[in-house]
Amino acid sequence: MNTQKILNLALEGVDSIGFKLDELGVTNKVNRHNIAAFMMAEQKHLEGEWDSLQVKVDHRRAQFEALLSPLMAQVNRFRASH
């Protein structure tokens, strides 16, 4: 089964659940459009979190390299003199 068929099947299920809930008077807010909007918003949220983590990792790496660089230079000078 290809991805498009699975997606269509899932969306039909969502539509069916939304229709049944609407018939019962529970809600009319469960439909493929609202779920797609929610998923897109969450995707953007997760992308933002990932970017934030990458910036933190890069910042820590730069700090570590700044601390390590003088030490490595000293070690290299010591090695060169012996």
pLDDT of 70-79, one tens digit each? 989 999 998 9
Three-class secondary structure of residue 28 per DSSP? coil
Angle at 22 between CA 18 and CA 28, to 5 degrees: 70
User: Quick one: how far is CA 58 from the chain centroid?
Assistant: 17
pLDDT digits (tens, 9 = 90+) for 11-23: 888 888 878 887 8
| Residue-wise pLDDT tens digits, 23-68 | 888 766 767 778 778 888 998 999 999 999 999 999 999 999 999 9
Q: What are the CA-CA distances from residue 28 to residues 42, 44, 57 (Å)?
A: 21, 25, 43
pTM of structure: 0.55
